[in-house]
Amino acid sequence: MAEHWYKNAVLYCLDVKTFADGNGDGIGDFTGLAARLDYLAGLNVDCIWLQPFFPSPMRDNGYDIVDYYNVDPRLGTLGDFVEFTRRAKENGMRVMIDLVVNHTSIDHPWFQAARQDPASPYRDWYVWSEDKPADAHEGTVFPGKQDTTWTWDREAKAYYFHRFYDHQAELNITSPAVRREIQKVTGFWLQLGVTGFRIDALPFLIEHKGLPTEGMGDPHAYLRELRHHVQTLCGDACLMAEANLLPEEVPDYFGDGDKIHMSFNFWVNQHLFLALARRDAGPILRSYAQLPALPPWCQWNNFLRSHDELDLGRLQKDELQEVFAAFGPEPGMQLYGRGIRRRLAPMLGNDRRRIELAHSLMLTLPGTPVLRYGDEIGMGDDLSLPDRESVRTPMQWTDGANGGFSRADAGQLSLPPIAEGEYGYRQVNVEAQRRDSDSLLNWLERVLRRRKETPEFGLGECRFIETGRPEVLAHRCDLDGVTAFAVHNLGPRRVRFDLPVDAPADGCVHDILARRREELQKDGHYRVDLEPYGYRWLRRDAGE
């Protein structure tokens, strides 16, 4: 049976404006990005997810859009975009883009029309109230930065609803005209060569909060409509949800496999960081035990870090404090009372063993991995920048001026690359790591190749294995009679244990990463010997 491409792909997330500046004006652009496609293909990336690149006043890093049918002129033209998707395809890579239709910028002509005239057809595109709702102080996504979800608009003479900043007015998803417009937007970009969308803020997009339909009808039904639309236009199309779901909410989003295709696994992500902090596999095991199984055509997205804070809001209060203490102990490293605004490498003390361990977990646990640009070379963060900007500094290509990101004068850059210290571009850059066969970059390139050669992890049925060692996470993934195993030692001490591999007494296993045949013990178990923070990928089959 044909398998769905997205279930066994490696995704790479980047922001065009901070990746590579092609024309030297200090801002990353599509020309610069197109010139780096070889790099991404060489890393073994299958699909590039582009963060918003549309015209925007940039009050939320582009998640505040004023034109859904265009490219921000600072980043290029529609022509540059199409050339980029074509060249990505030639290099064997697909492109997914952000679909940010929970809200528009209040500068969007739709909102401008809506606020100026109550009779405007656009009035109903947004969510209004004549009086300030009593719960206006609740439910804001940026606590401490935004203290209300309803803001008075003098021109409209009404309050408008916004989950995020007050410059991001919520669209009314129950309006047929809004739904039709979303069809046009998705159809437009599918025609221009993208294969799918990362749906920003999905739970908020579909909610009926503040609308007459609140509490009536199932808001999740819309997902079937959207899925049907994109899949009709493009059989390969994939919807990837940004949705920080509780386990009990999961079925509503995946349906019978007829709603979204994938969703970021925020639940496991938060427990994974708790497990890393405790050096104990328990929280990961617990988090999977709580999650329901997905329909066969669906998938989780595994990730370590993103362009936002590491959101730990689903953990218990004491667990959150444990992760803060381990990975973000200073108040300046924390955000919104629930998150850490640091990159992966500094959180893990730049300990190569733990960085590899975290990546190996992301690559072998059930799901499609999503890498974040810069993590492949262990980039750091800049805590002198406000809020989430700390983790959004430009890609570090070389040890030359501006880290090779741009040939513009340093003063012209909208965000400076990290120049000084352990994570500065003189120490951490692509060029130096390409020369070093032991670098993190070359290690990742190798393990990504192995990951793609081991479809059991992406497509197989995953089961966890009891080892009697709390610091060890062991799991197996079965696919068409072939079994891959992964074992991880989250602890700082060497550990030895017997892994049941269900092999005949004269059988063997193959160490997938070391490319080595390993003998079994007489009882058919494999004796695992893991160094501190060590990991192994094994396969039991007729041979590689």
Catalytic residues: 200, 242
Task: Pick what 161 binds: Ca ion, ligand NOJ, none; C-beta below 5 to 8 Å, kind-dependent.
Answer: none
Tokens, residue 418: 């990290």
CA distance 364 to 349: 23
Contact 164, 101 (CB under 8 A): no
72 binds Ca ion (CB under 5 A): no
Phi, psi of 302 (to 5 degrees): -90, 135
Residue of the chain from 200, 207, 356, 456 that contacts ligand NOJ (CB under 6 A): 200
Task: Considering only the stretches 10-18, 20-28, 114-122, 209-217, report the one whose residues sit in contact with Ca ion under the rule CB under 5 A.
Answer: 20-28
Task: Pick what 25 binds: ligand NOJ, Ca ion, none; C-beta below 5 to 8 Å, kind-dependent.
Answer: Ca ion
Question: Which residue, chain included where needed, has tokens 């032991």?
Answer: 438
Q: Looking at 162-318, which runs of residues are DSSP E strands?
A: 168-170, 196-199, 238-241, 262-264, 299-303, 310-311
For residues 43 to 82, the per-residue mask of contacts with ligand NOJ, x marking binding by CB under 6 A and - elsewhere, is: -----------------x--x-------------------
Phi, psi of 517 (to 5 degrees): -85, 135
Residue of the chain from 37, 106, 158, 201 that contacts ligand NOJ (CB under 6 A): 201
Task: Pick what 100 binds: Ca ion, ligand NOJ, none; C-beta below 5 to 8 Å, kind-dependent.
Answer: ligand NOJ
Binding to ligand NOJ in span 96-155, by CB under 6 A: 100
What's the closest the beta carbon of residue 307 comes to ligand NOJ, in angstroms? 6
Residues for the chain: how many in total? 544
For residues 365 to 404, the per-residue mask of contacts with ligand NOJ, x marking binding by CB under 6 A and - elsewhere, is: ----------------------------------------
25 binds Ca ion (CB under 5 A): yes
CA distance 186 to 226: 9
Q: Which residue is nearest to ligand NOJ (CB)?
A: 63
CA distance 166 to 211: 18
Residues in the interface with Ca ion (CB under 5 A) total 5
Smallest Cα–Cα separation from 371: which of 475, 262, 448, 311? 448
Residue of the chain from 14, 16, 27, 377 that contacts Ca ion (CB under 5 A): 27
312 binds ligand NOJ (CB under 6 A): no
CA 255-257-258 angle, 5° bins: 75
Alpha helices, DSSP H, located in 341-469:
344-347, 352-364, 430-435, 440-452, 455-459
Tokens, residue 448: 């990504």
Binding to ligand NOJ in span 229-268, by CB under 6 A: 242
308 binds ligand NOJ (CB under 6 A): yes
The residues, ordered by sequence, that sit 6+ positions from 437 with a Cβ below 8 Å of its Cβ are none
What's the closest the beta carbon of residue 164 comes to ligand NOJ, in angstroms? 4
Q: Looking at 325-471, which runs of residues are DSSP E strands?
A: 334-335, 339-340, 368-372, 461-464
Task: Pick what 29 binds: Ca ion, ligand NOJ, none; C-beta below 5 to 8 Å, kind-dependent.
Answer: Ca ion
Task: Pick what 21 binds: ligand NOJ, Ca ion, none; C-beta below 5 to 8 Å, kind-dependent.
Answer: Ca ion
What's the closest the beta carbon of residue 394 comes to ligand NOJ, in angstroms? 17
- Partners of 303 in the β-ladder: 370
Task: Pick what 60 binds: Ca ion, ligand NOJ, none; C-beta below 5 to 8 Å, kind-dependent.
Answer: ligand NOJ
Binding to ligand NOJ in span 152-191, by CB under 6 A: 164
Query: Hey, what amino acid is at 478?
Result: D
Residues forming the site for ligand NOJ (CB under 6 A): 60, 63, 100, 164, 200-201, 242, 307-308
